[in-house]
């Protein structure tokens, strides 16, 4: 009985020592579910998880105005603290422009990093705003577990007549050195030009997701990058359409060629002359308070067609005193030189002064939007007597 009491006491002491050790280290306090942005988080792996081999990372990267996201990692101290807040991050998943919602964010080859404790960070780049960050920490990479942690594999049964099988040795991958080559990755289909602005001619393109090496920075302060395309050609690309990776400290500054001289093309002088022709009514003898239609012939006596549409004003006046009784507007399109077009119907309703003579006056291009060689022949008119019909 004394031995059991001793064993129980030893277990309690070990538990207290473990609890004290953990409390002295970094406290792992996962973000409550209600505070996690459902459109910007890593759902797998969770904190305190062991990773090995090709590991699938899941979650969401689907924020408004998102241009791309990438996932990086960096090592932690044995006590789970960060060695230095300025310590570099290393790519686990390369920049991606496509949005992801509750699906695979990428696959991390953990064999490229030594076994140890790490933290994982997803960065979501947002147009005209600060990046959004989400971290998962701590995580343990264990591609080479200790012998006592490996479940032994049963040996195959070898028949006496069979040739003994020799198992291939297990190869331990050597951690890969991180690539610091400066590169751009297109976040949209982007033009590559022979200078550092949109004034220059397009000489190629970098499609969404394609990468190219950066070989120069503009000396003009435009922040454009001189890149080497996969076919060996060199050209300039704007910083707004790419994400940058690698180290730019050793990239030389390069002067772009002089900007092209703009070619001045004189604007041809318009030679349009619109003429208002015959004005007709339907019905020819309109009734009071009943809608009738106005038609007008419009001809172009000029040498060029009008390039924009125009308006036609229709005004009904009482002939006796010239007072305006009703107005309306119609429109017309392009008219070629020497062409005449009948414009209408333009509906109008007159409900005053029945039994008297009225005048319909039509003005072509009433807003004066079309430059013409002669503005004095744009008006024509016709008269009619308004029938009483059903008016009181």
How confident is the model over 22-50, as pLDDT tens digits?
A: 333 333 344 555 578 999 999 999 998 89
CB-CB contact of 290 with 284 (8 Å): no
Task: Report H helices in the chain.
Answer: 2-24
How confident is the model over 212-235, as pLDDT tens digits?
A: 999 999 988 889 999 999 888 999
Sign of the alpha-carbon dihedral angle for 64, 67, 71, 72? negative
Q: What homologous superfamily is domain 183-254 in, according to CATH?
A: SH3 Domains (2.30.30.40)
For the chain, the structural domain boundaries read 33-141, 183-254, 274-385
How confident is the model over 152-170, as pLDDT tens digits?
A: 454 454 455 545 454 544 4
**Residues in the chain with pLDDT values less than 70:** 1-34, 148-179, 263-270
Q: What is the pLDDT of residue 29?
A: 43
Question: In CATH, which of 2.60.40, 2.40.50, 3.30.2310, 1.25.40 is domain 33-141?
Answer: 2.60.40
Q: What is the pLDDT of residue 128?
A: 81
Q: In CATH, what is the architecture of 274-385?
A: Sandwich (2.60)
Burial of 296 (0-12, 13-18, 19+ CB in 10 A): buried
Cβ atoms within 10 Å of 186's Cβ, excluding its own: 22
Q: What are phi and psi of 132, to 5 degrees?
A: -105, 135
Computed over its alpha carbons, how large is the radius of gyration of the chain? 40
Please give the Cα distance from 287 to 348 (Å, whole number): 11
Q: What is the pLDDT of residue 267?
A: 58
Q: What is the pLDDT of residue 200?
A: 93
Q: Do domains 33-141 and 274-385 have the same CATH topology?
A: yes
Q: What is the pLDDT of residue 105?
A: 94
CB-CB contact of 330 with 344 (8 Å): yes
Global pTM value: 0.35
DSSP string, 7-73: HHHHHHHHHHHHHHHHHHS----PPPGGGS-TTEEEEESPSSEEE-SEEEEEEEE--TTEEEEEEEE
């Amino acid at each position: 009985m004394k031995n059991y009491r001793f064993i129980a006491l030893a277990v309690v002491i070990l538990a207290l020592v473990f609890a004290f050790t953990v409390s002295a280290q970094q406290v792992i306090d996962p973000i409550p579910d209600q505070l996690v942005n459902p459109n910007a988080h890593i759902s797998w792996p969770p904190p305190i998880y062991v990773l090995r081999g090709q590991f699938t990372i899941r979650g969401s990267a689907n924020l408004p105005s998102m241009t791309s996201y990438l996932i990086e990692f960096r090592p932690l101290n044995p006590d789970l603290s960060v060695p230095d807040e300025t310590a570099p991050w290393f790519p686990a998943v390369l920049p991606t422009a496509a949005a992801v919602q509750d699906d695979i964010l990428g696959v991390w080859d953990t064999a490229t990093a030594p076994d140890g404790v790490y933290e994982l960070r997803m960065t979501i780049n947002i147009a005209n705003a600060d990046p959004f960050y989400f971290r998962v920490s701590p995580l343990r990479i264990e591609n080479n577990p200790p012998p006592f942690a490996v479940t032994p594999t049963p040996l195959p049964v070898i028949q006496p007549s069979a040739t003994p099988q020799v198992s291939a040795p297990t190869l331990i991958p050597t951690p890969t050195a991180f690539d610091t080559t400066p590169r751009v990755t297109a976040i949209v289909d982007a033009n590559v030009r022979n200078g550092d602005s949109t004034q220059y001619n397009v000489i190629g393109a970098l499609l969404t997701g394609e990468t190219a090496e950066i070989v120069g920075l503009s000396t003009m302060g435009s922040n454009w990058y001189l890149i080497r395309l996969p076919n060996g050609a060199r050209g300039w690309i704007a910083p707004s359409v790419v994400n940058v990776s690698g180290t730019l400290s050793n990239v030389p500054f390069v002067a772009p060629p002089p900007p092209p001289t703009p070619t001045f093309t004189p604007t041809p002088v318009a030679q349009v002359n619109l003429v208002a022709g015959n004005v007709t009514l339907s019905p020819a003898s309109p009734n009071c308070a009943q809608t009738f239609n106005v038609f007008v012939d419009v001809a172009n006596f000029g040498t060029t067609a009008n390039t924009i549409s125009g308006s036609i004003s229709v005004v009904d006046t009482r002939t006796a005193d010239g007072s305006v009784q009703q107005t309306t507007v119609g429109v017309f399109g392009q008219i070629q030189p020497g062409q005449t077009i009948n414009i209408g119907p333009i509906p109008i309703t007159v409900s005053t002064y029945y039994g008297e003579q009225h005048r319909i006056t039509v003005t072509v291009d009433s807003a004066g939007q079309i430059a013409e060689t002669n503005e004095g022949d744009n008006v024509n008119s016709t008269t009619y007597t308004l029938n009483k019909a059903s008016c009181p």
